[in-house]
């Protein structure tokens, strides 16, 4: 499974917000920490806001924070809302394009779909709080931002 940079950035934002619940966090601070384009990160945060995962306050004293407890934000849900039209599902034909697959490849696609469903089921049981509860992961996310 290959996730887009957009989803990677969404996880960085969510993990950062979950690890700093009592801190006013700005998009600028996260973009600087992780060396991500501020404009690109704004688009990611906007999408997270539209999905109800993050809320933001504009202005000088504004910032962003999680819209709910990190224990209620499931990793699988984040992937589903950030990835569009099953882009991350390797081996899947785009919706309505199955006629372009060779007849021999269709059983493989079915198996890939079953495997992806099983994989996503595991991620649906894992929350952002679970990720923040892993100090190694938080360190690696922060180190990746500083690299």
User: 52 vs 68, 85, 87, CA distance in Å?
Assistant: 9, 19, 22
What tokens does 25 get? 């966090």
Instruction: Say yes or no to pLDDT of 105 above 80.
Output: no
What distance separates the 2 farthest-apart alpha carbons in the chain? Answer: 59
User: pLDDT > 70: what percent of the chain?
Assistant: 74
Helix (H) or strand (E) run with residue 64 in it: strand 63-66
Q: Which residue has the higher pLDDT, 112 or 143?
A: 112
Q: Give the mean pLDDT of 125-139.
A: 78
Q: Give the mean pLDDT of 76-99.
A: 63
Task: State the pLDDT at residue 111.
Answer: 81
The pLDDT mean for the chain works out to 81
Fold classification of 5-146 is Arc Repressor Mutant, subunit A (1.10.10)
Asked if residues 57 and 50 have their Cβ atoms less than 8 Å apart, the reply is: no
Q: Give the mean pLDDT of 40-62.
A: 94
Domain boundaries of the chain, sorted by first residue: 5-146
Task: State the pLDDT at residue 129.
Answer: 92
Task: State the pLDDT at residue 94.
Answer: 46
Could you tell me the pTM of the whole model?
Answer: 0.75
Task: State the pLDDT at residue 64.
Answer: 96
Task: State the pLDDT at residue 44.
Answer: 96
Residues 6+ apart with CB under 8 A from 100: 93
Q: Would you give the end-to-end CA distance of the chain in angstroms?
A: 24
């Amino acid at each position: 499974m290959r996730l887009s940079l957009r989803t990677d950035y969404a996880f960085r934002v969510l993990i950062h917000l979950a690890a700093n619940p009592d801190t006013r966090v700005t998009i600028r601070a996260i973009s600087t920490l992780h060396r991500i384009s501020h404009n690109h990160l704004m688009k990611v945060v906007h999408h997270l806001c539209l999905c109800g995962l993050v809320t933001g306050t504009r202005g000088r004293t504004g910032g962003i924070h999680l819209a709910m407890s990190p224990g209620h934000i499931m990793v699988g849900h984040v992937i589903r809302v950030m990835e569009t039209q099953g882009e991350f599902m390797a081996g899947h034909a785009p919706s309505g394009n199955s006629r372009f697959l060779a007849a021999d490849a269709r059983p493989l696609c079915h198996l890939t779909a079953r495997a992806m469903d099983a994989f996503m089921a595991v991620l649906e049981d894992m929350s952002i709080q679970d990720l923040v509860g892993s100090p190694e992961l938080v360190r690696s996310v922060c180190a990746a931002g500083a690299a």
